Structure 1
Amino acid sequence: MSKNSSLGFSTFRELEALKPKEKRYSVRYTPSQKLFIEVLPTGVKSWCYRYTLNGKQDKLVLGHYPDVSIKDARQLRDEAASLVAKGISPKQDKTKPQSILFKDYGERYLEEVIKKDRKDPYSMTLYLNNDIYPMLGHLQLEQITVDDVRRTIWRKKEQGYDSAANQVRGLLKRMFDYAMTLGYVPYNPVLAIPVRHIHKAKPRDRYLSSDEIRNYYTTLLNSRVYRARKLGLMLSLLTLVRKSELLRARWEHIDFESRIWLIPETKADSATGHSREMVVYMSDQVIEIFKELKTIAGNEPFVFVGRKSGTHISHNALNTAQKSALALTDIPDFTVHDLRRTASTHLNEQGFNSDAIEACLNHTAKGVRGIYNKAIYEKERTEMLQKWSDYIFSVIYEPNLIFFNQSKAKSTAY
């Protein structure tokens, strides 16, 4: 191999200008000690850190450019140099187990980090079991590459869930940060995949017009989507609750006589980090929907029954049902969460008390108003949610008489 170590570069443009030759050659990155780019005849450019340990010279390949940027390469080089300074080979730390499966490490991370930092580890556990372990669980932790990580993240992205792909990336980054702390890996491969290339968060303002509500729900209710999922998407619009709260609904918290659905824990407040309970005042239509769901669920504890007894449906179940029906229409794209915004927008346009609407969304009012809002809007919320259900049914009932007649036939008395 030709080692043109006298050559050097220090800028992005100089790096881009390096062209392949007949033989492999290396060029030193002058701002960082012992960091080089190797250029192969094929045009592939690889970052390398050269070091001396125990009197022997060695080389650590840090990754390919442009997958690994100049900034990332410098950080990876510094991490490797720190190990060398301690007498530890960055290729293989002799103080750590020789091999550990990523899934085994993931379970340790779940117990030692996630469950200690989060009151509810549910979503992180889902990402591990559904998105990360199927792709990386069988691999040795120290052998996982940037390409392995990229495939894992892009699998979620290609499913159409950019925001979730970004969550997977964030979880993987934190997992590899902890693995570095434990000495399991010399560097974090997730750093080679910038957040900006995965997901750019944009404030959403999407809501459905009355015509879109009629067209979408007519299509949904006449589709082949499983009936319980159809009813779930109806409840999402009628009750204004979050999808996660709907998925985890339990029969023990639904009181048909008092017409109340208690949600013991909702999404944690961004200011305090604490969850809070919520009460949903059920309309006549919501009660009928829950009665039919009770017939479907039988003796199961959850309203929306999962594949295994005693479990609820998965995080993506309603997403899949919603997308299946949406694909049969020409309605612009929207998400399950947008149904909350749809309800809020229409209720505000119809002149209802904005504080009562915010209470139904379980948003925290600031200041003194927030202290009293918990109780004083019970009457307003009860009346408002009944009128909201009446309005929605006036929009969608007539085109779906067959569906609702079936619902009446299947419901049971309470």
Structure 2
Amino acid sequence: MALTDTKLRNLKPGEKAYQEADEGGLFVEVMPGGAKVWRLRYRLAGKQEKVTLGDYPTYSLGEARTWRDDCKALAGRGLSPMALKRGDPVPDDAAPAVKEMAQAFVRNWCMKAVERAKVKEAADTVEAFARRWYAEIVEPANSNPRNVKRVLDKDVIPAIGAKQVADVTVTDILAITDKIKNRGADQMALQTRNVLKRLFAYAIAREKTTFNPAAAIEAKFIAQAKSRDVALTPEEIGRLLRAIYQSSMKRAHKLALHLLILCMVRKSELIEAKWEEIDLDRAEWSIPGERMKKDKPHLVPLSRQVVAMFEELKGLASGSGWVFPSRGDLKQPIAKSTLNVAVRALEIEVRDFVIHDFRRTASTHLHEAGFNSDWIEKALAHETKGIRGVYNRAQYADQRREMLQWWADFVDSQIQDGRGKVIIGPFGKAYRAA
């Protein structure tokens, strides 16, 4: 059967090179490294010859077929396309029309092949491809992609920017992360590895390489997670929340754990929350300074999901002034240990963690997604010193609202995880209307 573009795109490399035929002697050879090379077999003076055009998709299926026809026309006139590509001269006794055909073949295929190879090589450097990835994927998808750009410009491009994407090795990635760790920035080394992992995943999707050298390095080999450094992976976030909603714990406690992930607040700030602090119409939660670690009031913009959860909790509170009233005394909030006990009772395959790690988990993924560090620090109610701290008093409310909505949507996608929506509850009118 003749080849099609769909079949060509879907050809995968094997342990050894293999061939897929088109028609008239044209075939593509799939190399173990992933390259797909156009070649042609033809007969000249009773002997078989083989000549190479170049890679697919640098040369399209249509171009390869035109090249095949030109090669066979030359062979029919007694000239060898293989010899012409090698640079051999046309015989002096060849007819003028044959000489003209040969010259056109050299111009159209041999000389242009060299030019195309140079352009392709330049386009497939890490720097060129990283710029393309940033412009096509990172910048449109993130509110503030400067963190990713900073990683590329500061550590990646100076180190491997001139290399071909397909030539980058695990050793190259480790050299970058080790240099960053030597600056005392272990977590930045891990973040850089994560950026490179996403970059090479895109390169594989664009058929620039078949191997992701950053994904081959486990995170623990770059920055060993201490107990206070645990951040859940996206898969662990989904696994944990599915386990929470499928457990037998009280509905209010399920919502509390979900809110801790989405709002990025401390446990005490959530379980001691009062309804007077929460404005569902404005989608804002104003935590007074006396309940904050730094004794400064803190504003939490609420995502659609969080507003809906608070609406449901309003009905579960039985008229109490506390968002999470104690079962034995509606005038008191739940005990500080209640949520810890509920988490310890879960039967899940997730690394050991404590509830405080929810904040670190959110921070890690927001940084990796390219959001501004100042917005993230403000969402965590961390104090920033100096000039940045003065500007920070504006609270970046609009930016944090957009960021926390992105985070809530991201967490939603992990709960679903392609398995159909887990029944986690109605979450009130705001969520249903979204």
TM-score, normalised via structure 1 length: 0.47
Larger Rg: 2
